[in-house]
Structures are given as structure tokens and as C-alpha cells.
Amino acid sequence: HAADAYRTDLMTITRFVLNEQSKYPESRGDFSILLSHIVLGCKFVCSCVNKAGLAKLIGLAGETNGEEQKKLDVLSNEVFVKALVSSSRTCILVSEEDEEAIFVESSKRGRYCVVFDPLDGSSNIDCGVSIGTIFGIYLMKDGGEPTLADVLQPGRNMIAAGYCMYGSSCTFVLSTGTGVNGFTLDPSLGEFILTHPDIKIPKKGKIYSVNEGNAKNWDGPTAKYVEKCKFPKDGSSPKSLRYIGSMVADVHRTLLYGGVFLYPADKKSPNGKLRVLYEVFPMSFLIEQAGGQSFTGKERALDLVPKKIHERSPIFLGSYDDVEEIIALYAAEEKKE
Ligand code: P6P
């Protein structure tokens, strides 16, 4: 029985990636080494986040108990930057926490460019809501000196993307371009074990996920779509609203249960709120690899070509058929103009 097999034949993330690598005989194992450093960072952050609740008592990261302690998102960022640099497989890092891109010193340089949000949704830590690390990986465009052009590539050029969600369990979801797989941390082993092989998002879902508090500022197509979710005209049941306000948690639910997650543009923020490189692209990559789609209101999200490393974009991602309805509403609006 499959479950028994895994129970004794532990498919760890390391083994899984090495299996993947064996499909590319010319591969020198660089990606496996890079990923193992990302996984190390996630294990460390998982351990800190789980203690965050205790921090008030024992003054761990994120809380001040007299002397200044680093905030958890700053600490997480330092852990990931140091882990990625020490892998000697990266040349540029873009972090949500750093205004400027980090160019790795030449003696420690590799071919990969990693864009990441070390602790997305960190404002939710104090109330125990799930938060996460989100990352995307590009190969540098061509040899020679790394430049910003190596990270200002469309999302479709990513070779891998994933997130690690720190919630009731620590779940690592990864795609290297051939489907999506989920791994759960077994704290007793300190290993991520394959628990969600070959994740596929349902073609249509019963959930919509958006911050309804912004409804006053939505454009026509978004307002029309949400209205349709609440008051369907075809006699079908209304969709349920689920909004956690932590992108990793909302996207993880969408990936597993189906439905659609929206962070639309609005009058106050014409490009929405979420960042292209390390929120929109990695989540869009995963959703497409799981059979869904992701749209910006104008185009396929992965076709966007970023001009700045922290630029934002509206995002509508999830079940293929649900996003198709949103695309049709924006197309109809386009025709009117
Ligand atoms: P709002 C968290 O701050 C975050 O960056 C994402 O994780 C989340 O999806 C979004 O912002 C929530 O934003 O405006 O609904 O609170």
C-alpha cells in the first residue's frame, strides 16, 4: 500500500529532488545543493515561528525583553540570505526585506538568481495565523557579470518556485516545472516527507478569496465577478468566502480545495498590493503547474515583464474555469472601451 511504502521508504525532499536531478544526466547537482540550503532556511524559520508565541516569556527573536531582539521577518531574511550565499550556487538575491538586490561576491557566485519573501504575512504572527516563505528561482540569462536583467525576467522563465507554510504543520510546496509536490516536516526527523504527491487544483471551485473591505475601490470586472459569486444568476449556489489575509495560507487552500484568490487593483492602488517577483510569480507558477491559471487583469501573470524588483501587480489565480470567467469579464470591459 502506497502509504505503507512511504512509511518505511521515506521519500524526503532531498531524495525527491535527487530523483528529479537524475533525469538530467548533465546536471551537476547544483540545483539540489541550492534547494537544500533553502530547505535549511525554512526549517530554521519554522522553529523560530513555532516559538514566537513563547517569545514573550523567554525573549526569543521578535520580542524585546530589555535588550533589542531582531524582528522575526528581519531574522528570517538574514537566515535565508546567509544560507543562499553559503550555497555558492547563487549570483543575485532579491528579498522583500532588502530595498536593493544583493549581488553575491564573485568567489561565492553560482548560476541561480533567487527572489523571495522570507516571511510573508508576518503581521499575522502574534495572532497565530499561518504565514510563510515564498521563493522563485531563475537561471542567470547568460554568463559574465550578473545584472538586474537576470531577475527582471518574465515569470515564465522561472525554473522553480515554492513556498513553506508555517501553520498547524510545516508544509513545503515545490514545483521544478514538472508538476507540484507537497512535503510535510517531520520534526522528529527534521526532514520534509512527501505527503502531497502531484497536486492538481480542481478545475472549478466553490470558494472565492478576496478582501471585501476594498470593495468600494474595485473596478467593474472585479465587482461584477464578486457579485456573481454572491448572487449567481444561473441558479447555482453562491460561493463561500474564505479570506485569511496571509497569501501563503490563502493560496495553499486554493491549490488544495480549488476556487479563486484575488488581490485586484483598486482606485487607491492601481497595481494592487502583491509583489510581482516574490509573491505573484512563484504562486502563479505553482498554480499553473497544478493545472490552474493566473491572470493580472490584463495578461497571463507569468508573461509580465517586471521593470523594477519590488513592483506590484493585481492577481487573479486559482481554478482554471473560475479564472476563465474573470478573464472574460475583463475582455468584455476592454471591448467597451
Ligand atoms: P490585505 C500580507 O501582509 C500580504 O502581503 C499577503 O500575505 C496577503 O495576501 C495580503 O498582504 C493581505 O493584504 O490588504 O488584505 O490585508
Task: Tell me the pLDDT tens digit for each residue of 38-61.
Answer: 999 999 999 988 877 666 544 455
User: Cβ(246) to ligand 1 under 6 A?
Assistant: yes
Res 9: pLDDT: 81
Res 27: pLDDT: 76
Contact 97, 246 (CB under 8 A): no
User: Cβ(245) to ligand 1 under 6 A?
Assistant: yes
> CA 229, CA 324: separation in Å to the nearest integer?
14
Residue 109 forms beta bridges with which residues? 90
Nine-digit cell string for 256: 488544495
Q: CA nearest 125: which of 194, 193, 72?
A: 72
Res 104: pLDDT: 97
> CA 168, CA 178: separation in Å to the nearest integer?
28
Q: Which helix (H) or strand (E) holds 208?
A: strand 207-209
Q: What is the pairing mode between strands 180-186 and 191-196?
A: antiparallel
Res 303: pLDDT: 98
Nine-digit cell string for 69: 531582539
Res 251: pLDDT: 98
Give pLDDT < 70 ranges for the chain.
1-7, 53-70
Query: Where do runs of H (alpha helix) occur along 87-230?
Result: 220-230
Nearest-atom number in ligand 1 for the CA of 250 is: 9
Report DSSP letters for 45-81, one per residue.
HHHHHHHHHHHHHH--TTS-BSB----HHHHHHHHHH
- Report CA(229)–ligand 1 centroid distance (Å): 21
Give 85-111 pLDDT, tens digit per residue: 999 999 999 999 999 999 999 999 999
Nearest CA to ligand 1 atom 9: 247
Q: Is the ipTM of this complex over 0.85?
A: yes
> In the chain, count of helices (H) and strands (E)?
8, 13
Q: CA nearest 140: which of 101, 184, 175, 179?
A: 101
User: Cβ(262) to ligand 1 under 6 A?
Assistant: no
Please compute Rg for the chain using Cα positions: 20
Res 266: pLDDT: 86
User: Cβ(96) to ligand 1 under 6 A?
Assistant: no
> CA 272, CA 266: separation in Å to the nearest integer?
6
User: Cβ(273) to ligand 1 under 6 A?
Assistant: yes
Res 56: pLDDT: 55
> CA 97, CA 146: separation in Å to the nearest integer?
20
User: Cβ(134) to ligand 1 under 6 A?
Assistant: no
Query: Where do runs of H (alpha helix) occur along the chain?
Result: 2-8, 13-21, 30-58, 72-86, 220-230, 247-257, 281-289, 320-336
